[in-house]
């Protein structure tokens, strides 16, 4: 992961929850201009933040691993105390009880769908958290491991080991992963259950928007996977909110990655970086912080009629 975008980089390796995590930092990455367009009090508060990238890891308390059967709706050990003692079944880090909502502004949407795909060749993991835009509470979650359509067994095993081996979840992935063409109907049923997707809107979202950390997930990867899976691109993947652009325009800081934004906000990492369900949780925490501080989340990118992507913010992360 390169945070420097072409600049000289230094690789730092740290142990986190028993796995080696690689962090790339770059000279100047964390320079902090004065936030623009905000009140003096907010500018003073934000400018006082100490830019320490290691705040992402400093203060992070050891946490029981998430039960990845639970997140996929298939845990059969919820009545076994030893399992409950060793695995997390929920998203306690998204608790909103301590939030000061006095600065919260009305949003353009009722719900946010926080999406963070994993997988380089084909999608390997598809997690989405449904967040209430008014209360910032987690409403529900959808999580599936995705089995590539084209990879042969040896290449597939290598790809899964490379991506998930450090987390020790290969066996769970192999046991539960299903094809992308089977994930999407399940996802649509889940959206419909929450009235976020309705037939009356022609397959478009109902007062909801996807939120991603970057444009890659919906701009590039989902269309690519649809082509590989011989599927039409669903119409609800036509627009999204890139949280990096919202962050840049609200705080005036260039957070080129999830870890960069968390470091600037002095927010410790929860779970494992590059495990999609954990990354979606951390992206949601950044989203909650933005809204608590007074940001309004708006669509940042949209596909037009000829499927070309239009970026709607002049000031954006390239």
Active site residue ranges:
118, 274
Q: Are 28 and 7 in contact (CB under 8 A)?
A: yes
3-state secondary structure of 92: helix
Long-range CB contacts for residues 42-45, cutoff 8 Å, separation at least 24: 42/293, 42/294
Smallest Cα–Cα separation from 179: which of 216, 229, 128?
Answer: 229
Q: Which tokens hold the place of 281?
A: 């949780």
Whether residue 210 contacts residue 198, with contact meaning beta carbons closer than 8 Å, is answered with no
Q: 178, 146 in Cβ contact below 8 A?
A: yes
SS3 annotation, 156-213? HHHHHHHHHHHHCCHHHHHHHCEEHHHHHHHHHHHHHHCCCECHHHCCCECCEEEEEC
For residue 35, give the DSSP letter.
P
């Amino acid at each position: 992961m390169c945070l420097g975008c072409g600049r000289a980089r230094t690789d730092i390796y740290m142990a986190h929850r028993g796995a080696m995590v690689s962090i790339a930092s770059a000279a100047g990455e964390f320079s902090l201009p004065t936030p623009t367009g905000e009140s003096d009090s907010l500018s003073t508060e934000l400018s006082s933040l100490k830019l320490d990238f290691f705040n992402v890891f400093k203060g992070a308390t050891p946490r029981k691993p998430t039960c990845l059967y639970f997140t996929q709706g298939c845990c059969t050990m919820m009545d076994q105390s030893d399992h409950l003692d060793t695995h997390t079944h929920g998203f306690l880090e998204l608790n909103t009880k301590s939030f000061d909502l006095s600065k919260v502004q009305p949003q353009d949407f009722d719900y946010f769908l926080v999406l963070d795909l994993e997988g380089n060749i084909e999608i390997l993991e598809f997690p989405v958290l449904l967040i209430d835009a008014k209360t910032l509470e987690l409403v529900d979650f959808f999580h599936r491991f995705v089995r590539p359509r084209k990879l042969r067994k040896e290449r597939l095993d290598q790809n899964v080991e490379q991506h998930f081996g450090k987390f020790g979840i290969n066996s769970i992935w192999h046991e539960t992963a299903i094809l992308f063409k089977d994930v999407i109907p399940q996802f649509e049923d889940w959206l419909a259950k929450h009235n976020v997707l309705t037939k009356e809107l022609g397959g478009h979202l109902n007062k909801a928007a996807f939120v991603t950390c970057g444009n890659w997930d919906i701009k590039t990867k989902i269309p690519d996977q649809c082509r590989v899976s011989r599927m039409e691109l669903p119409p609800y993947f036509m627009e999204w909110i890139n949280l990096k652009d919202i962050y840049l325009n609200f705080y005036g800081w260039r957070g080129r990655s999830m870890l960069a934004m968390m470091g600037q906000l002095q927010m410790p990492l929860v779970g494992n970086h590059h495990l999609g369900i954990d990354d979606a949780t951390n992206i949601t925490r950044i989203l909650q912080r933005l809204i608590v501080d007074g940001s309004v989340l708006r669509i940042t990118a949209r596909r037009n009629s000829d499927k070309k992507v239009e970026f709607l913010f002049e000031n954006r992360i390239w």
